[in-house]
Amino acid sequence: MIHAFNVDISDISVLPDNLKFDKKRISKFLQEKIPEKEQNGKKVLDGKKLEDSWFRPIKADFFISHKHEDEEQAKQLGAYLQSKGKSVFIDSGIWGDIKTLQETIDKDYCSNKEKTFYYYGLRNKSTSYTHMLLANALLKTIVNCETFVFLNTPNSIKAENIITDISETNSPWLYFEINVANALLPEKAIIESHANFSYMPEMTFEADLKKFEKVNVEDFLVQCGFEKTEDWNCENACFEEKFR
């Protein structure tokens, strides 16, 4: 990873909305049967096959980090970059759904015979397995991508922190992705976490965006080498690619 951008997408309307993000999904997910193998005479789950079929690391020009609620905007930006010949990674457009994988494992290995409830200890174990697979794949993919693009929206960063020097997110996955990106940039920063107590509390994570270049969509495209055309300010503006 070479570059990292903190992108305000409030001006996302400058992009054409008639382009479709090419998902280019990896091989068919093993949703009906979890791969197993023998190890020291015991049956174990095959983590390598699970990663290959659900979360195989990808190499791309752009890694777009976004909150689930901003998926359509992420795909709109990704579709435009693809239209200019760039490869784009958006996890929901390429990988399997971790919730589906989790439910499949829990149903087969963590429930009672009647499938009426899950065993707490086994459920925690299966969660650690699936989250480790996903985290490892995210780390490898971010390393493999040239540019990290964080979509800064009210969904991803708490609005009340905008006027301060602190950015907080309630998403542990965004926290992880930002942390990995920071580790790959010069002068590694320490990211602290802060608990937000409420009923069944969420957790806030300090999202250290100080080293990310803060831009809007227009500035981001210019920085990436896409030159403005005469109708730049028009709705659904078109852009002409020009590499520097």
pLDDT tens string 54-68? 999 999 999 999 999
Which range of residues forms the domain containing residue 135?
3-19+27-241
Our count of domains for the chain comes to: 1
- Which phi and psi (to 5°) does residue 111 adopt? -110, 165
Sign of CA dihedral 49, 50, 56, 57: negative
CA angle, corner 37, sides to 32 and 41, nearest 5?
Answer: 140
Q: What is the model's pLDDT at position 230?
A: 47
| pLDDT tens digit sequence for 7-47 | 999 999 999 989 999 987 665 665 557 889 999 999 999 99
CA neighbor of 17 nearest in space, from 230, 241, 234, 236: 236
Q: What is the model's pLDDT at position 26?
A: 64
What's the whole-model pTM score? 0.79
Torsional class of 50: left (φ above 0), alpha (ψ -120 to 50), beta (otherwise): alpha
